[in-house]
Structure 1
């Protein structure tokens, strides 16, 4: 598996060096920033898979860095802070952090949380065939060419419909809320309403299902969201 790139944003040099050493020992590529401004420059310039972000930073605070990241990306973020109050933790998660650790912390525990968050966030990056076929060719998807076929006939898919279908294909059986589908398919800057997802799914079902009212591919999980059933 290709090594993941971790950005460590920390202005305390000793802590930065310890985290960097542990991450490199675990096989991660490590980028470092000692202030919030530099962190945002790196994120705009480099491919970053996870951010370890201290809250007390010069130039731009960790909170503001987190907010800015969330306007452009869903990169996983682990916040580091000396503030251990529950309200601080809740606030950190509310502004977009995925996990939260208080100082002093165990570097081994931090590495464990990094690995767990990487696994959860990048399951969709597992190898995926360029060509997918379901139910003996009833539904076929050419991923590279962004083509969808039903019984050999090419379907007219919009870019947004294909993006949404792709999320389901690479996460078979996983239940997604409307909000999660928006984030994964269209990104955080999407300006549509979450109910727009229902319209997209209705349109996709009209195209790929034999009976759209009794779907076998994109299934509704009542009270939760949608999942891909694989046609079984």
Structure 2
């Protein structure tokens, strides 16, 4: 079970983050003060640290820097500070991601899962076998193989990453911006139009009728949802 440390002084936000993460199979600890939060983070037992910037005792920037000096684990900043300079500074200190309050807790969970997968892939750690099954679809994440009705479906890298992201977060509506940020990253030279293109290609490969999809549903005016 993956462990997440939340360093957040707002009880309501911390509890909301914890509840969503626990529902998705994570073990969660909460610290509400900067110094104690950093001390716990440096124990080296966590897979991800989620940290606010404005904290009593020690601010989030210092926490991020000290964690990054010792560990390469994913660090996600969640803050009400929404100026570009704050984001640039936080990422510059070593954070992997930056979410601005208010935010969707489902998006936080999705980003945490995505960063864990990337970290384990880049660090060479073996990712434990995970089988994602929905209806007639089976995704084998260790071998990156997808089967529909027992027949293997060949996907491009981005199509696979898109499918895993959506299938790992069933029944949650994601906007094109959220999907684009999680799959392509904010530094990618492109726009959200590529999301619709990849969804269309993916549907042709996994859906019995791409015009009337069973799995990836379009929520008009909002985005997409994977139906489990």
What is the distance in 2 between the residues matched to 1:219 and 1:203? Answer: 14
- Deviations 1:22-70 (Å, cap 9, x if unpaired)? x379xx525978977x8399279632434478x8xxxxxx963522555
Residue 41 of structure 2 aligns with which residue?
A: 29
1:229, distance to aligned residue in structure 2 (A)? 0.8
Partner SS for 1:220: strand
Residue 108 of structure 2 aligns with which residue?
A: 121
Aligned length: 174
What is the distance in 2 between the residues matched to 1:176 and 1:34? Answer: 28
Question: Aligned runs of 1:76-115 on 2, under 5 Å?
Answer: 76=98, 97-98=100-101
Residue 140 of structure 1 aligns with which residue?
A: 138
Counterparts in 2 of 1:4 and 1:132: CA distance versus 1, 3 Å: closer
8 Å Cα contact 1:74-1:188 kept in structure 2 = no
8 Å Cα contact 1:132-1:141 kept in structure 2 = yes
Of residues 41, 47, 71, the one that matches 2:73 is: 47
What is the distance in 2 between the residues matched to 1:118 and 1:208? Answer: 28
Residue 20 of structure 1 aligns with which residue?
A: 35
8 Å Cα contact 1:134-1:140 kept in structure 2 = yes
What is the distance in 2 between the residues matched to 1:179 and 1:43? Answer: 31
- Deviations 1:173-201 (Å, cap 9, x if unpaired)? 11111110011112111222211111100
Bigger mean CA deviation after superposition, 214-223 or 179-188: 179-188
Partner SS for 1:226: strand
Is 1:67 aligned to 2:88, yes or no?
A: yes
What is the distance in 1 between the residues matched to 2:105 and 2:75? Answer: 8
What is the distance in 1 between the residues matched to 2:199 and 2:104? Answer: 29
What is the distance in 2 between the residues matched to 1:182 and 1:52? Answer: 19
Unmatched segments (≥5 aa) in structure 1: 9-16, 56-61, 78-96, 100-115
What is the distance in 1 between the residues matched to 2:184 and 2:224? Answer: 16
Counterparts in 2 of 1:7 and 1:207: CA distance versus 1, 3 Å: same
Supply the RMSD in Å over aligned alpha carbons. Answer: 4.2
Counterparts in 2 of 1:224 and 1:129: CA distance versus 1, 3 Å: farther
Counterparts in 2 of 1:205 and 1:178: CA distance versus 1, 3 Å: same
What TM-score comes out, normalization by structure 1 length? 0.58
What is the distance in 2 between the residues matched to 1:157 and 1:176? Answer: 21
Unmatched segments (≥5 aa) in structure 2: 9-31, 43-48, 50-57, 117-127
